[in-house]
Amino acid sequence: MPLDSLTGAMPFYVTTPIFYVNAAPHLGHAYTTIAADVMARHMRQRGEDVFFLTGTDEHGEPVALAAEAQGMTPRELADKNAERFKALMPQLHASNDFFIRTSDPEHEAKVQEVLQRVHDNGHVYKGLYEGWYCPRCADFKSENEQGPGHTCLIHEIELTREQEENWFFRLSTFQKPLEELLQTEFVQPAARRNEAIAFVAQGLQDVSLTRGKITWGVRVPWDPGHVFYVWFDALLNYYTALSYARDGEDITERFWGEPTTHLIGKDILKFHTIYWPALLMAADLPLPRRVFVHGFLLGGDGRKMSKSLGNVLDPFEVIERFGVDALRFYLMRDVSFGEDGSVSMEGVESRYTTELANDLGNLASRTIKMVQRYRDGAVPDVPLDEGLQRDFAALSGDFCRAMDDFRVSDALEVVWERVRRLNAFVEEQAPWQLAKDEARAGDLDRALASLVEGLRTVGVMLVPYLPERMGALLDALNVEDRTLRAFGEGARVERVGDLEPLFPRIDRAAAA
């Protein structure tokens, strides 16, 4: 894949949801962050102009209630937990370009500006609201969003009956434009788009834009007794961040709209695929290109992860035992991205052993050792094996197409087919046999050169998934240029150096 120069780079903006600071970071938060990071790193390798945003959602009832329960002020709890989410990013090797907190004064001012415009454009009115409310979702639930006895389907807690005078957002007037929007590729994958279509088909009702009962939020400029309902404040983070993320520079024009992809979990589909585009239309702002909705990670028993069921996979424990790259790889590989899937420590261990240590780790160490043993570390500069060349011909295209569609698991499988192909190539060629026969020195040269080029190709492609370990591999191959290049294209590896085992065996007793 030839690389554009920086002048031709396309802006690419990827976001994660901003996470509630009412609790500590967990595997679900890590999952979305890793997937967004894989995409951001991949696009940078293609030479694109990338901005990757994550952060924390600090206002509203979920946080106010949790703070009260812990005998803290909301701000104290937010400060404490925002730090933990901020610290999570380097632990995951996430390469986010900014970390937004919705308590940032710049964010708050911009929220007021945008929502004042929504008001002035005539999309807001005062009315009385009564309904069933989940304080943990910060969401009013319609009849078909409720479990038996007025309970929350997500949090399995009782809903409260709330009545208050609020400012309303005229969501209902966006029925038609939303129906049309949902006929496009705006929501992906298609199964999730159908969920959004079904929701709109029930008929949209106006929604509360403000709350009078709580004070922990962004003040409503035209009615200072109210704060904005947390979801409107939160959704706007994707837009506000661009105005102040870079010191002294407003990058909104560069990244907002067509370059924008929101990555979310399926639990917050309604807000991102219905409320959010309607709000943007009401504020005369461009829409993002797409919302990609991923599935949920479940416990090893296929049930919702919960401490009481004892089926929680702790990301920090995985990192400690297997390394951060193993966590990243496992989550992108074991659960087909977009769908729900069960995860467990046994699953991590099995993928680690069979794929990372055996398939990839062995390929790398064998290849490097053979070049050292038979050619003193110098990679022969000869034409590459034609069969292998054919088997790699479609790789870059297939890989980039999958990535363009945010199919990060499919993209990984496309690479893994070649990892397996290279292992088969070692067996077919049996360089250790060729090395015994002086007359076959040319065949040995070709086999070694082809293996190294194959290893370089997959190594570069896997950097977004395994940034740390592929960094070590490419260092050993003396590859400085880590932009995407097809097999056989451009400068070849000249010398290999020593490489420690990429994925050392984990001693079960020590790990347990």
Binding site for ligand ME8 (CB under 6 A): 17-20, 28-29, 31-32, 57, 234-235, 237, 264-265, 267-268, 296-297, 305
Residue type at 208 in one-letter notation: S
Identify which of 360, 358, 365, 382 has the alpha carbon closest to the alpha carbon of residue 443.
Answer: 382
Identify which of 187, 200, 231, 235 has the alpha carbon closest to the alpha carbon of residue 338.
Answer: 187
Q: Is 213 annotated in the active site? A: no
336 or 372: CB nearest ligand ME8: 336
342 or 365: CB nearest ligand ME8: 342
Torsion of CA 290, 204, 175, 226, to 10 degrees: -80
Long-range contacts of 375-378 (CB under 8 A, 24+ apart): 375/445, 375/448, 377/495, 377/496, 377/497, 378/494, 378/495
Span between the terminal Cα atoms of the chain, in Å: 44
Q: Where are the alpha helices (DSSP H) in 283-407?
A: 315-322, 324-334, 345-351, 362-375, 386-392, 395-404
Decide: helix, strand or coil at residue 214: coil
Minimum distance of ligand ME8 from residue 176's CB (angstroms): 25
Question: Which two tokens mark 439?
Answer: 């007359």
35 or 326: CB nearest ligand ME8: 35
Minimum distance of ligand ME8 from residue 262's CB (angstroms): 8
Among 80, 150, 155, 266, which one carries the catalytic annotation?
Answer: 155
86 or 482: CB nearest ligand ME8: 86
Decide: helix, strand or coil at residue 362: helix
Among 107, 134, 226, 400, which one carries the catalytic annotation?
Answer: 134
Identify which of 218, 206, 361, 179 has the alpha carbon closest to the alpha carbon of residue 279.
Answer: 206
Among 29, 42, 59, 107, which one carries the catalytic annotation?
Answer: 29
Residue type at 71 in one-letter notation: G
Decide: helix, strand or coil at residue 7: helix
234 or 326: CB nearest ligand ME8: 234
Q: Is 400 annotated in the active site? A: no
Minimum distance of ligand ME8 from residue 433's CB (angstroms): 49
Q: Is 307 annotated in the active site? A: yes
Minimum distance of ligand ME8 from residue 151's CB (angstroms): 18
Minimum distance of ligand ME8 from residue 275's CB (angstroms): 10
> Which residues partner with 11 through β-bridges?
49
Among 93, 137, 141, 262, which one carries the catalytic annotation?
Answer: 137
The CB-nearest residue to ligand ME8 is 28
Minimum distance of ligand ME8 from residue 191's CB (angstroms): 16
Distance between CA atoms of residues 56 and 82, nearest Å: 6
Residue type at 503 in one-letter notation: F
Q: What is the DSSP string of 28-58?
A: HHHHHHHHHHHHHHHHHHTT-EEEEEEEEE-
Q: Is 152 annotated in the active site? A: yes
293 or 400: CB nearest ligand ME8: 293
Decide: helix, strand or coil at residue 263: strand
Minimum distance of ligand ME8 from residue 473's CB (angstroms): 29
Q: Is 93 annotated in the active site? A: no
50 or 297: CB nearest ligand ME8: 297
Active-site residue set: 26, 29, 134, 137, 152, 155, 304, 307
